[in-house]
Structure 1
């Protein structure tokens, strides 16, 4: 019943939003579009090409090549981006679109599942308009993220392509439980599962209700009450059971893990990505490289937590935890880059305001990546982790026409991606600014 209410509410919000915001993305895409790109970032080869023409047919890219030899079909709509740099749509691998960044801690107790899903309608639009045409949503209440994904797919609202997790799995009293209320309320998070068989059952439940990916809490967290980020929560035995069950069902597993031991055991259990990785040590970096495990490190939101956390309702203990590990996480990001670990872009959007995702690029280059590496982390690398290399992540014939543009050269300064001037998703123009 709750899920039906969420879907109905989201559909109502979409109708109202459509009336208030006449978005070009609602229109049917032109049959054929030719995009003239002054510069084009080839994320596969790590180069920037000049004077390229992209032919888009419907939702897909038909061809890419030098403008001098391009054959533009008669009647094609021409979009002139010859004074800009064109890139594939960006991908954020760690978002919470149904989370309001101003409603943390005890303030979040007043947010219903329906309200969270409705908030996600606005967050999805802001994220897409910021140039993030694909996201992985790693946890949401009431399966609201799944309802949001389905509403976007059905064309009811605009937003990025989504892979969603439903509830994140965790232990009783852990980071993914609700520890804000006293015992007489008898509140337990809906993702809580203790022991290997209970954890397997919870994986099956998430898959049943539409989860594309399984999110687990292997360690304590920053924004949870009464635990420590560095403390391991799920055991290796429990995580192996989760990974085995998820992979049998065709789902990848993302592990929230701050502490060194939880990171190592998540990797040994076979997870596909480790989120946060704040206290990763040399052994963890080496193991991630050897096993091919992706690291998704959110190194921007430290700023927001420390500057705006109190106003947003974050607990004093959470702000203090961030003071302890925030800079360490950034330093360890640099070590992971230097150590050759596979890195994908993820920001924990929802901790900070949606649409500000690209602010992380500055910190990725400050702490060890080149601008091209940072762009690759948010395009071809993220697509690989997502399992969608054949669909998104590069401007390549056959893939979705998810295309953005910026003024200047983001391959020299990735922070320019905070000012995206053109967004196309699936051949439809979402926004275009002078």
Structure 2
């Protein structure tokens, strides 16, 4: 996993000078959760210098000339991740040339208003997403850091039924490897275009209630090729058969909880935990399913067995960007606000081998912060939605109608 760490750190090091010039910021008199397991600390001041938290405590001197946010009544947390999004809607087409103000507004509506400072795109037109990322990192557009999978790989001749109406020119780009060599070539092509991770459909829903699995040999070849260059492999597994392919292939992350949980028992989950696999619940996506309680229960059991859960919602595939239902479902599953905060911050940082640099509010960590108006310890799921500021590397990339000094 050292190669993964090196790749991610390479992207990380581009960022301190990339989200605008003014990266000197002080947040005064705030209540702060420095980590998901830490107690709430009140009357703290956080100083961000050159995109990194330089000081944080109850008695901190603020350098002259630094922008200040008076944060009485605020609750400050490490910046939120959404590890399952898509930039696949038509409004992202030609992102290289769209007006910067339009892109900033679209990112605000989709992501930054919810406090997301980092997102993982698990499937999109890679040229558009890479162009969007470049414009964000240049400071021209205000938005989150983006990791992207580019074009996913699907089982041969088995695209998901919900892609049936995709335009022919787009459909022609969707990788459906028939051999291990094909899979490796497609992985390399994605990397050459700028992808950071790989997404496999190890279980493709070709029609309602019918899943076609990817051949294990093809999934394994793709996974091994991705791991050679240090990337994580995400899987859309759908059911037990697709999940078994993901496990046998050595996939790192299930991009969804399997929608069909039949046959996925404690033994299967323990094997996943032993292989250090991660699950992204995306419970909002399944919230209308008749067996949503079983899907929630699978996530809870996985966590109890020691498995890592990371927050993600399929935002972008789901045109409704509101996060309320995801938080409600997670708490209905039995997770505490601290569990959810871990999924939003420290767990994704650990998944991407960035724990030494981010995920907590303390000196030396990146100045990525999400500022809420309410304390999530209240147990009300909606408090995670009450975002006042989204701060990336010391730059306010989104704020509610509340002025800074």
TM-score, length-normalised on structure 1? 0.78
Quick check: 1:132 aligned with 2:116? yes
- Equivalent-residue separation in structure 2 for 1:198 and 1:369 (angstroms): 41
Cα deviation, residue 405, structure 1: 1.4
Alignment of 1:34-53 (within 5 A): 34-43=26-35, 45-53=37-45
Relative distance call for 1:122 and 1:226 in structure 2 (3 A) is: farther
C-alpha contact (below 8 Å) 2:116/2:144 kept by paired residues: yes
C-alpha contact (below 8 Å) 1:195/1:238 kept by paired residues: yes
CA RMSD of aligned residues (A): 3.0
Please point out which of 205, 213, 224 is paired with 2:197.
213
Cα deviation, residue 155, structure 1: 2.0
Counterpart of 2:9 in structure 1 is none
Please point out which of 367, 376, 389 is paired with 2:355.
389
- Equivalent-residue separation in structure 1 for 2:158 and 2:61 (angstroms): 58
C-alpha contact (below 8 Å) 2:349/2:359 kept by paired residues: yes
Cα deviation, residue 232, structure 1: 4.7
Quick check: 1:422 aligned with 2:403? no
Moved more, 376-385 or 259-268: 259-268
Cα deviation, residue 411, structure 1: 3.0
**After TM superposition, where is structure 1 displaced by more than 4 Å over at least 4 residues in a row?**
115-122, 176-179, 184-187, 324-327
Alignment of 1:258-277 (within 5 A): 258-277=238-257
Counterpart of 2:21 in structure 1 is 28
C-alpha contact (below 8 Å) 1:135/1:162 kept by paired residues: yes
Relative distance call for 1:402 and 1:83 in structure 2 (3 A) is: same
| SS of equivalent residue, structure 2 residue 378 | coil
| SS of equivalent residue, structure 1 residue 124 | helix
Cα deviations by residue, 1:362-386 (Å, 9 ceiling, x for unpaired) = 2111102111100110111011223
C-alpha contact (below 8 Å) 1:254/1:273 kept by paired residues: yes
- Equivalent-residue separation in structure 2 for 1:333 and 1:201 (angstroms): 34
Quick check: 1:95 aligned with 2:91? no
Quick check: 1:226 aligned with 2:207? yes
Quick check: 1:86 aligned with 2:76? yes
Moved more, 202-211 or 288-297: 288-297
Quick check: 1:340 aligned with 2:306? yes
Relative distance call for 1:143 and 1:261 in structure 2 (3 A) is: same
Moved more, 161-170 or 269-278: 269-278
Counterpart of 1:286 in structure 2 is 270
Counterpart of 1:243 in structure 2 is 223
Relative distance call for 1:353 and 1:421 in structure 2 (3 A) is: farther
Please point out which of 180, 184, 189 is paired with 1:196.
180
C-alpha contact (below 8 Å) 2:214/2:245 kept by paired residues: no
- Equivalent-residue separation in structure 2 for 1:112 and 1:39 (angstroms): 37
Counterpart of 1:77 in structure 2 is 67
Counterpart of 1:174 in structure 2 is 158
C-alpha contact (below 8 Å) 1:46/1:372 kept by paired residues: no
Structure 1 unaligned segments of length 5 or more: list them.
Answer: 1-24, 101-110, 307-322
Relative distance call for 1:179 and 1:60 in structure 2 (3 A) is: closer
